[in-house]
């Protein structure tokens, strides 16, 4: 008499391997999505912002650029910085308020930064997340 257990064991192995591969793929995409917290944000159009900053009020955007200079520091409020953002007409300076809570590293001229910004009153952009660009 033959044993039917050989087919059952191979079926279990195939199911286990497919389950492992599925979990691995889901974990990879979950971790990759968490790495890029700027994913899904609209990129700030520097040229449009320079033409009409108030139209960006209330929106959340992603921008990257080089820190040109620290324009002003207000204790308790943060730093107003100028970020050089690329556009079709060259680099455009964009003012961004960086709250003290986001200043986990020293902001220095020439740093390349990735910033999540929200348009606040009178067209000012306020940083909500900021990281150094590699």
pLDDT of residue 77: 87
What integer pLDDT is reported at residue 5 of this predicted model? Answer: 55
What's the pLDDT score for residue 36?
A: 59
**Are 78 and 97 in contact, with CB atoms under 8 Å apart?**
yes
Q: What pLDDT score does 12 carry?
A: 82
* Greatest alpha-carbon span in the chain: 88
Instruction: Specify the CATH number of the domain 42-132.
Output: 2.40.50.140
Q: Tokens standing for 131?
A: 């990281």
* Cα 50 from chain centre: 22
Cα 1 to chain centroid distance, Å, stands at 65
pTM: 0.69
**Per-residue pLDDT tens listing for the chain (134 residues):** 455 555 667 778 888 888 888 888 877 766 665 555 667 788 999 999 989 988 899 999 999 999 999 999 888 889 999 999 988 889 999 999 999 888 777 888 999 999 999 999 888 999 999 888 87
């Amino acid at each position: 008499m033959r044993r039917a257990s050989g087919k059952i064991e191979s079926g279990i192995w195939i199911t286990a391997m497919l389950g492992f591969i599925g979990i691995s793929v889901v974990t990879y995409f979950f971790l990759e999505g968490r790495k890029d917290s700027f994913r899904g944000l609209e990129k700030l159009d520097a040229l449009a912002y320079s033409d009409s900053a108030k139209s960006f009020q209330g929106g959340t955007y992603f921008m990257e650029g080089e820190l040109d200079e620290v324009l002003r520091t207000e204790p308790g409020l943060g730093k107003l910085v100028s970020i050089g953002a690329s556009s079709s007409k060259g680099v455009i300076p964009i003012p961004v308020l960086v709250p003290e809570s986001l200043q986990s590293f020293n902001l220095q001229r020439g740093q390349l930064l990735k910033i999540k910004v929200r348009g606040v009153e009178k067209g000012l952009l306020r940083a909500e997340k900021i990281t150094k660009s590699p």
